[in-house]
Amino acid sequence: MRSFERKNIKAMEGYTPGEQPEAQSVIKLNTNENPYPASQSVADVLKSLDIASLRRYPSPTARKFREVAAELHRVEPENIIATNGGDELLRLLLTTFVEVGESIGVADPSYSLYPVLAAIHDCSVKRVPLTSGWELPDDFAEKMNAFGVKLTFIVNPHAPSGKLIQAEELAGIAQNFDGILVIDEAYVDFVDPEKNYNAIELIKRFDNVIILRTLSKGYSLAGLRFGYGIASTNLIEPMQGKTKDSYNMDAISQQLGIASLRDQTAAKLTWKAVRDERSRMVLEFNRLGLTSLPSQANFLLVEIPDGVAGGAEALYQIFKNEKILVRFFNEQRLKNRLRITVGTPEENGALLRVLKIAMNIQV
Ligand SMILES: Cc1ncc(COP(=O)(O)O)c(C=O)c1O
């Protein structure tokens, strides 16, 4: 058969998503989903859906959702765009603001979808390595300027380390960087409130900052595919009015998205439960002699020395044989680590039991 792919598409590798087994019995600690279900108010809206309402097209701009999100974040609805998962926002950012042939910047390592989106758009990726302490180098913005990148991504809290960068450091980068700074806050809901982290204000100070949010993690709706962007109108309007699909958010998603953002109380309970378990797991790992980077996300990047259960990849396989999925990345800085999503106390307990057996510790 002939190939009709564009040259860059033919040359590229697709994104490899984490394993998504169909069996419910598998303990899934590999794709950073929230271990608790979405709130009862979301379930109620879903149950009361009127099939006849689906006859009509939905709001093309997710108008009501934008109002609700704007109120929550103390911005205007014009500062919000709703997208089919955060991933759609990332794609829109490239197709709207980056010329084919230009380059984008990433802190390395980070979310492995960024280079894939760049390859689809036929633009190159400039990588600035994180320091040995998994931090951004002080001259991050200057380095990106020297590369001439049009747009750069920073995940905060960082994935896969979980490290949090304070908003003022981000402000410094926004100030010094000549292109668009995407602050990917996919995991921000799990940040300890005591950190007083809030980067939303940056969109009022800088016209080159856009913040990504998603309902996939904090609001337990990864299956729904709902994300949004927060930025000044020079960034929102071109995507909202020109480059997104005309009806990118279906009617059901819009209703569930609204219900989920409105029920902050229920979502916050899950964030607290995840934070509590995160702290407990850090202690449990430490007790076993294992260390993880300080995480403000719903996962821990745990170092697995080669002497422990044969190393990270072998341990990943041991967990898998016991129907527990975690994430192993076969990459330079990550191959001696496992990224483990924080689950329910029962799920985490099961993981610890298997770990202790693998380490020959009596359980
Ligand atoms: C760093 C980061 N950004 C964005 C996303 C996008 O999430 P979604 O498309 O489910 O909203 C993810 C999902 O895993 C992620 O890890």
| CA–centroid distance, residue 279 to ligand 1 (Å) | 23
From the CA of 202, how far away is ligand 1's center (Å)? Answer: 21
User: Could you tell me the CA-to-CA distances from 90 to 115, 278, 283, 347 in Å, in that order?
Assistant: 11, 28, 35, 32
Asked whether 33 lines ligand 1 (CB < 6 A), one says: no
For ligand 1, atom 13: residue with the closest CA: 186
User: Which of 214, 217, 228 best tests ligand 1's pocket when mutated (most atoms within 8 Å of CB)?
Assistant: 214
For ligand 1, pick from 184, 191, 339 the residue to mutate: most ligand atoms within 8 Å of CB.
184
CA nearest ligand 1 atom 3, residue: 186
Q: For residue 168, give every residue at least 6 positions away whose Cβ sits within 8 Å of its Cβ, in sequence order, or none.
A: none
Q: To test the ligand 1 pocket, which listed residue (16, 112, 113) has its Cβ within 8 A of the most ligand atoms?
A: 113
Q: DSSP code of 192?
A: -
How close is the Cα of 32 to the center of ligand 1, in Å? 9
Residue pair 284/235 in contact (Cβ under 8 Å)? The answer is no
Q: Is the CB of 85 under 6 A from ligand 1?
A: yes
Question: What is the structure's pLDDT at 363?
Answer: 67
Residue with tokens 């998503």, as numbered in its chain? 17
Mean pLDDT by 10 residues, the chain (363 residues): 95 91 90 97 96 95 98 98 98 98 96 96 97 96 98 97 97 98 98 98 98 98 98 98 97 98 98 98 97 97 93 97 96 94 98 95 73
What DSSP letter does each residue of 280-345 carry, written as one string?
Answer: HHHHHHHHTT--B---SSSEEEEE--TTSTT-HHHHHHHHHHTTEE-B---STTTTTEEEEE---H
Ligand 1 neighbourhood includes 87 CB (under 6 angstroms): yes
Q: Which two tokens stand for residue 246?
A: 């005309």
pLDDT number for residue 62:
98
pTM strictly above 0.95: yes
Q: How far apart are CA 77 and CA 230, in angstroms?
A: 9
